[in-house]
Structure 1
Amino acid sequence: MGRIPPRQLSQAGPDHEHPAATGRWAMLAVLCCSLLLVAMDATILNVALPSLIDHMDPSPMQQLWIVDLYGLVLGGLLITCGAIGDRYGRKRLFVAGFVLFGAASVVAAMAHSPAQLIAGRALLGVGGAMVMPSTLSLIRNIFTDDHERTQAIGIWASVAGAGAAIGPLVGGHLVEAFGWSAAFWLNVPVVVVTVTAAIWLLPEYRAPQIGSLDWFSAMLSVLGIVALAWGIKHVAKGNPAALDLVILVAAVLLLGLFAYRQLRSPDPLLDVRLFRNRAFTAAALATLLAMLAIGAALFLISLWLQYIHGYTPSEAGLRTVPAAIATLLGSLSTPWLLRRVGVRFLMGFGLGALAVGFIVLAAIPTTTYPLVALILVCLGIGDGVAITTAAAVLVSAVPPERAGMAGAVEETNYELGIGLGVALLGSIHGRLFVSHMTELPLSGEQLDTARGSVGGAAYVADQVGGATGAQVLEIAQHAYDSALTTTSWISAGLVGAVAVLTVVLVPRGFTATSAH
C-alpha cells in the first residue's frame, strides 16, 4: 500500500481528497491498535496489584495512585493535547505521544520502588494524552461519509471499551507467567510496530487557526482537572484535611477561570459554547459516568475475585472476559441501532444497563461467580452502547476543524471517568472497608496493615497463619463484601440519575448527524 501524502488532509473543507476505502480502514486499524494499548493500561494493573503489593509493599494510598494516576494525568492533559494536535499536526502528535508511551513503559517495567512506578505511570499518562485525541479526530477527518464514520466510531469505541475490559485478562496471564513488570514490557514491541505503520500510513492534518496556543489556559485546564481529581479522591476517603478542601475549591476556581478565558478567546482550546448544545452535553456526561462505573467495577471486582475467592491473577482476568465480550457486542451493534432507534433511547438504555448491573451486585447478598458474570455482561453492554452513542454525537456535532476538541472532550471524560471511578468509588469502598474491620485479633503494626486494605489483610493473615489468620481473612472478606454492597448502591444511584438527565437533555428525534 502506498503512502498517503500528508497534504491530502492538511486543510479542512469539502473539496480536499480522501484516501481510498482500503486505505481508510488500514488507517483505522493503526489508530485502534494504539488505542487498545492506551485503554488496556487503564485497567491492566487491576489484577497485578496483589503481585505489586507483595513485591514493593506500597502503602494503601500509593496503591490507589499506582492504579489511577495514569487516568488522571491522561484526562488532565487531553484538552491541551487536542488543541496542540489541531494546531501543529495530529499525526505528528500521535507519533510523538506513542514513542513517549513506549519509553514510559520501560521506566515503569524497570521500577524498583513505588515512587518510580508512580512516575512511570504518570509518563504513560502524558504519552496516552498525546495519542488519544488524535485517534478520534483523525477518524473524523478520514471518514467523511456519515455512515462510514459511524461504523468507524463503533469500531473505535469497541476497542476502547474492550481494551479496558480485557486489561485484567492480559495482565493476569502476564503477571502469572512473567511477573508484574510484563504488563509494561508488553507495550514496547507493539509501540515499535504501530509507530512504523503510523509514519507510513497516516495522513497529516492541521486545522487552520487564527492564533497561537494559549499556554496559560492549557495550564489552567491541567491544574484544574488534576486538582479536582485530587480533591474528590481525598474528600471521598472521609475526614478530609483542610488542605484537601482548599485544593477542591481551587479546582473549581481554576476551571471556572479556564471557561471564562475560552469564552473570550477567538481561538479557544475548548469551545465551551459547544456545551450549549444539549445533546453534546448529554454525550459528555454519558461518557464520564459510563467510564466511572466500568472503571470502578473492574477494579473492585478484580480484587474481589482474587482476595475473596482466591483466584490467581490469570483466573481472575479470565473471569472478567464477559465484560469485554459484552462491550464489543454493544459497541459494534450501536451504529446499526442508531439508524433505527435514535440517540435518546440508546443513551438512556446504555446508562440504564450499567445501573441495573450495580443494582444486582448490591441487592444479592451472597455473590457467586455466575451472578458476577451476569453483572459484567450488563456493565459491558451498557458501557459499549453508551460510549459509542456518545462518541458519535460528539464528533458529528462539530465541524472538521474542531474535531480535535470533540475528541478531547470524549477522551477526557473517558479517561477521567476511569480515574475518578477508582479514586471516588474506590476511596468510598476503602473507607467503608475500614469501618467494617472491627474485632480483629491483632495489635500494633499488624492491625494497621490489616485494616488498611483487603490486600493488607490477606498479607497479615498469611503471616499469622492458623486460626487467627483464618479469622482475619474471614473478617476481611465480610468487610469487603459489605463495602462493595454499599458502593454498588451509590454507583447505581449516580448512573441512574445521569441516565434520566441524558434522556431529558437529548431532544426528541435527535440523530447523530443532525448537527450537520
Structure 2
Amino acid sequence: MSDTDAKAGPREWAGLVVLALPALLIALDFTALHLAVPELSADLQPSSTQLLWIVDIYGFMIAGLLVAMGTIGDRIGRRRLLLTGATAFGAVSVLAAFSSSPEMLIVARALLGIAGATLLPSTLSLISNMFRDPVQRRLAIAVWSAGFLLGGALGPVVGGALLEVFWWGSVFLLGVPVMVLLVAAGPFVLPEFRDEDAGRVDPLSVVLGLAAILPAVYGLKELAKDGPAPLPLLLLAAGIAVGWWFVRRQRGLASPLLDLALFSHRRFSVTLGAQMTGLFVLGAIQFLVMQYLQLVLGLSPLEAGLWTIPAMAAGIAGSLLVPLLTRRVKPVHAIAGGLAVAAAGLPLIGAAGTSGLALAVVGFTLVNLGINPAMVLTYEMIIGSAPPERAGTASGAAETGNELGVAFGLAVAGSIAAAVYRREVTDEALPAGTPPDVAEGARDTLGGAVEAAGDLPGDVGEQLLAVTRDAFLQGMQLTAVVLTVLLAAMAITVATLLRER
C-alpha cells in the first residue's frame, strides 16, 4: 500500500473527534469528583474508609483491567468493545449520580472503572488502525492526548460550576451526553477491527492481572501518603508475586492475554520504559507542586489550580505541535529532547523557596512542555511497533504502564519528601510552647502543621510554619534532584538504544 493509499480521509478525522471524547471525559471524571467530596460526605455520611474507596476504586479498576480489555478488544472487535463500554459507562453514571448510600456509590464507581477500562485501549488501538500514515497517526495521538490534558484542566472549572447550582451527583452526569454522542456517532464514523486468528480469552489471566495490579497500586498509594509501613509494603510484594504468576501463565498459553513477545522488540520496550519514566516524574512533581502552592505559599485550591494553567496549556500546545516538530527532528531525538527539557525544569521547582511562585510555575511549565509531547511520540512508537492485530494488547500495556508510572512516582515522591520532613521536624526543632498533640500532628505532615498553626499564639504559630515549611522544601529539593537524574538517564538511554544505525 502506498503512502497516499494509507492516508486517512474525512471519515477517519470525524472518527478521531469521537475517539477524543472518552479521553476528555475520563480526565474530567478524575478531577471533578474531588470537588464533590465535601457535599457527598455531608449527604451520604460515609466513613473515612468508605470515602477512600469511593475516590480510589474507579482508578484501581481501570488500572487492573486495561491489559485484559485491550486484548478482549483484539478478539471481539475494538469498536464493539468501545460502544459496549460507552453504553455501560453512561448507564452506570446515572446510577452513581443517584446513589443513596456509600455502599451503592462504591459499587457504582467500581462498575464505572470496569467500563472505563474498555474505553482507553479501544480508542488508542482504533487510532492505530485508522491512521496508518505515521505523520497522521502522530497528529491523531496528539489530539487524543490533548483531550486528556484539556479534561484535566476543565475538570475543576466544570465541576465547580455544576456544584454551584446542582447537587454532588451532577458531576457524574457529565458522562451521559458524552457517551450518548459516542454511541450514536460511533457506528457511522468508526470502522471495526479485530484479530481474526485470536483464541479465546483466558479467565484466570484476567483475574491474575487484576489481582496483581490492585494491591500494587493500592500499596504504592499508601506509601505515598504515609511513607514506608508494613501493610503497603506487603501489598506491593503481593502484587509483584501475583504478577510473576501472571507472566509465567502467559508463557504457557497459546493465546496469552498479554503477548510477551512484544517486549522482545527493543523499540517497544525502550519507548514503554520512557513513557513510564515520564509519567513517573510528572505524577511525582505534580503531587509536590500542588502541596507547595497550597501549604507553603498559602494559595486556595482554586488559586493553585489557576496557576497550573500555563503548564497545562504548554502541554497541550506542545502535544499538538509534535507533527511539525518531527518534520525536522527524528522522533527518537524528539523524545530524548523532551525528557531533557523536562529535566531542566525540575531544578527550578527544587529551588523555589517560600516566595518562589514564579520559579515553580516556570519549572512546572517546562516539565509539562517536555514530557507531554514526548508521551505522544512514545504512544505512537509503542502502537506502531506492534502488529496491527495486537494493537489492543499494545494499547493496554501502554495504558497500564501509565498507571503504574504515576503510582510509582507518587509513592517515591511521597516517601522521599516524608522521610526528609520527618528527619527535620523533631521535638528540638519545634518552637518552645508547642502543645504535644500539635507537635505530633506537625511531625506527621505539613498539612497537619498548617492546620494547627492557626490555633497557636502568633509567634509560636509562625515559628512552627517556618520550621515545617523549610522541612517540606528540603524534601522537595531532594526529590527534584532524584527526578532530574532519572529523566536525564532515560533521555540518554532513549538516544543511545534507539538510535538509527
> Aligned equivalents of 1:396 and 1:494: distance in 2?
26
> Aligned equivalents of 1:265 and 1:300: distance in 2?
43
> Aligned equivalents of 2:60 and 2:461: distance in 1?
36
Say whether residues 1:483 and 2:471 are aligned partners.
Answer: no
> Aligned equivalents of 1:133 and 1:435: distance in 2?
43
Q: Could you tell me which of 115, 119, 133 is aligned with 1:127?
A: 115
Any idea what SS the aligned residue of 1:267 has?
Answer: coil
Mapping of residues 331-346 of structure 1, within 5 Å = 331-346=319-334
CA contact (8 A) 1:79 1:409 kept: yes
CA offset at residue 232 of structure 1? 3.9
**Could you tell me which residue of structure 2 aligns to residue 240 of structure 1?**
229
Give the 3 Å change call, closer, same or farther, for CA 331–20 of structure 1 in structure 2. closer
Tell me how many residue pairs correspond in the alignment.
493
Cα deviation code 1:474-499 (max 9, x no counterpart): 44433433332222223223333322
The one-letter code sitting in structure 1 at the alignment partner of 2:269 is T
CA offset at residue 157 of structure 1? 2.4
CA offset at residue 444 of structure 1? 6.0
Any idea what SS the aligned residue of 1:247 has?
Answer: helix
CA contact (8 A) 1:104 1:124 kept: yes
CA contact (8 A) 2:75 2:198 kept: no
CA offset at residue 303 of structure 1? 3.0
Q: Could you tell me which of 191, 212, 218 is aligned with 1:203?
A: 191
Moved more, 262-271 or 437-446: 437-446
Give the 3 Å change call, closer, same or farther, for CA 189–495 of structure 1 in structure 2. same
**Could you tell me which residue of structure 1 aligns to residue 487 of structure 2?**
495
**Could you tell me which residue of structure 2 aligns to residue 8 of structure 1?**
none
Say whether residues 1:407 and 2:399 are aligned partners.
Answer: no
Mapping of residues 60-139 of structure 1, within 5 Å = 70-102=58-90, 105=93, 121-139=109-127
Say whether residues 1:37 and 2:29 are aligned partners.
Answer: no
CA offset at residue 89 of structure 1? 2.4
Cα deviation code 1:340-366 (max 9, x no counterpart): 321321121122222222222113445
Q: Could you tell me which of 198, 207, 228 is aligned with 2:216?
A: 228
CA offset at residue 294 of structure 1? 1.7
The one-letter code sitting in structure 2 at the alignment partner of 1:306 is Q
Say whether residues 1:394 and 2:382 are aligned partners.
Answer: yes
Q: Could you tell me which of 367, 373, 389 is aligned with 1:385?
A: 373
Say whether residues 1:278 and 2:270 are aligned partners.
Answer: no
CA contact (8 A) 1:64 1:422 kept: no
> Aligned equivalents of 1:487 and 1:428: distance in 2?
6
> Aligned equivalents of 1:252 and 1:469: distance in 2?
44
Give the 3 Å change call, closer, same or farther, for CA 194–94 of structure 1 in structure 2. same
TM-score for both structures, normalised by structure 1: 0.82
> Aligned equivalents of 2:15 and 2:365: distance in 1?
30
CA offset at residue 51 of structure 1? 8.7
> Aligned equivalents of 1:479 and 1:52: distance in 2?
34
Mapping of residues 160-171 of structure 1, within 5 Å = 160-164=148-152, 167=155
**Could you tell me which residue of structure 2 aligns to residue 262 of structure 1?**
250
CA contact (8 A) 1:176 1:314 kept: no
CA offset at residue 77 of structure 1? 1.2
> Aligned equivalents of 1:67 and 1:365: distance in 2?
32
Any idea what SS the aligned residue of 2:193 has?
Answer: coil
CA contact (8 A) 1:86 1:207 kept: yes
Q: Could you tell me which of 358, 366, 371 is aligned with 2:359?
A: 371
Give the 3 Å change call, closer, same or farther, for CA 166–91 of structure 1 in structure 2. same
Say whether residues 1:27 and 2:15 are aligned partners.
Answer: yes
Structure 2: give runs of 5+ residues left out of the alignment: none
> Aligned equivalents of 2:342 and 2:39: distance in 1?
30
Give aligned-pair identity as a percent: 37
Give the 3 Å change call, closer, same or farther, for CA 410–85 of structure 1 in structure 2. same
**Could you tell me which residue of structure 1 aligns to residue 139 of structure 2?**
151
> Aligned equivalents of 1:42 and 1:423: distance in 2?
19
CA contact (8 A) 1:291 1:421 kept: yes
> Aligned equivalents of 1:50 and 1:505: distance in 2?
49
CA offset at residue 288 of structure 1? 1.1
CA contact (8 A) 1:35 1:132 kept: yes
> Aligned equivalents of 2:63 and 2:310: distance in 1?
27
CA contact (8 A) 1:97 1:131 kept: yes
Q: Could you tell me which of 452, 465, 468 is aligned with 1:460?
A: 452
CA contact (8 A) 1:77 1:126 kept: yes
> Aligned equivalents of 1:491 and 1:23: distance in 2?
42
Give the 3 Å change call, closer, same or farther, for CA 209–19 of structure 1 in structure 2. same
CA offset at residue 394 of structure 1? 1.0
Say whether residues 1:505 and 2:493 are aligned partners.
Answer: no
> Aligned equivalents of 1:373 and 1:337: distance in 2?
24
**Could you tell me which residue of structure 2 aligns to residue 325 of structure 1?**
313
The one-letter code sitting in structure 2 at the alignment partner of 1:240 is A
> Aligned equivalents of 1:351 and 1:437: distance in 2?
34
> Aligned equivalents of 1:490 and 1:57: distance in 2?
38
CA offset at residue 91 of structure 1? 2.1
CA offset at residue 431 of structure 1? 4.5
> Aligned equivalents of 1:47 and 1:477: distance in 2?
26
Give the 3 Å change call, closer, same or farther, for CA 52–278 of structure 1 in structure 2. farther
> Aligned equivalents of 1:453 and 1:256: distance in 2?
35
Moved more, 475-484 or 160-169: 160-169
Mapping of residues 280-359 of structure 1, within 5 Å = 280-359=268-347
> Aligned equivalents of 1:316 and 1:282: distance in 2?
35
- The two structures, once aligned, show a CA RMSD in angstroms of 3.7
CA contact (8 A) 2:220 2:410 kept: no
CA contact (8 A) 1:169 1:316 kept: no
CA contact (8 A) 1:161 1:327 kept: yes
Give the 3 Å change call, closer, same or farther, for CA 247–299 of structure 1 in structure 2. closer
> Aligned equivalents of 2:289 and 2:415: distance in 1?
15
Give the 3 Å change call, closer, same or farther, for CA 333–212 of structure 1 in structure 2. same
The one-letter code sitting in structure 2 at the alignment partner of 1:80 is A
The one-letter code sitting in structure 2 at the alignment partner of 1:204 is E
CA offset at residue 146 of structure 1? 3.1
> Aligned equivalents of 1:445 and 1:127: distance in 2?
45
> Aligned equivalents of 2:37 and 2:425: distance in 1?
21
